[in-house]
Amino acid sequence: MSKSLRNLLMAAALPVLGACAGTPETTAPVADPLKGTQWQLVDIQYMDDTVLKPDAAGKYALRFGSDGSVSIKADCNMLGGNYTYTSPSGLEFGPLRSTMAFCGEKSLYNRFTKDMPFVRSFVIKDGNLHLALMADGGIYQFSRLP
């Protein structure tokens, strides 16, 4: 292709490319639906059909701060750090710091610390929050706290 033909095609394409570029209405960031919400664990469902439930209500909870922070109550321990929301349903937790008390043999604390780095997405359905682990590893289901 000659240089003049290439330049002519580029000149013709520029207005089209400009028209396809996002406008403020189409590129405005989507509000984070998790910001400022609190949830308590209902159950954990793994792909091998294992279902784990907390032994008492309120022992496992998530709180998403308005500043991108997350606080996790995991039995007798607290975890904290930051999270990243990506529209429309992406979710990742950054490094989480944790207290290290021993909560007992039946505690789900170890599951939380093992699984939270593998959360990649979420959905809010029927008032519940479902966190999905990567590679179809499992689903954490939470109900909303007031």
Where are the chain's structural domains? 38-144
Q: Which two tokens stand for residue 110?
A: 């170890």
Torsion from C-alpha of 111, 43, 142, 129, nearest 10 degrees? 90
CATH number of this structure's domain 38-144, picked from the four choices 3.30.230.10, 3.40.50.2300, 3.20.20.330, 2.40.128.270: 2.40.128.270
Give CA separation, 12 vs 5, 18, 21, 22, in Å.
Answer: 11, 11, 15, 19
80: number of Cβ within 10 Å? 14
Report which of 55, 57, 117 is spatially closest to residue 82, judged by C-alpha positions: 117
The terminus-to-terminus CA distance of the chain in angstroms comes to: 65
Contacts of 121 (CB under 8 A, 6+ apart): 89, 90, 91, 131, 132
Q: Check residue 88 and give its pLDDT.
A: 93
Q: Which two tokens stand for residue 80?
A: 């904290």
Q: Check residue 62 and give its pLDDT.
A: 97
Written as tens digits, the pLDDT of the chain (146 aa) is 333 323 322 333 333 334 444 444 556 678 999 999 999 999 999 999 999 999 999 999 999 999 999 999 999 999 999 999 999 999 999 999 999 999 999 999 999 999 999 999 999 999 999 999 998 899 999 999 98
The model's pTM: 0.78
The conformation of residue 92, written as its DSSP 8-state character, comes to: E
Q: What are phi and psi of 19, to 5 degrees?
A: -70, -30
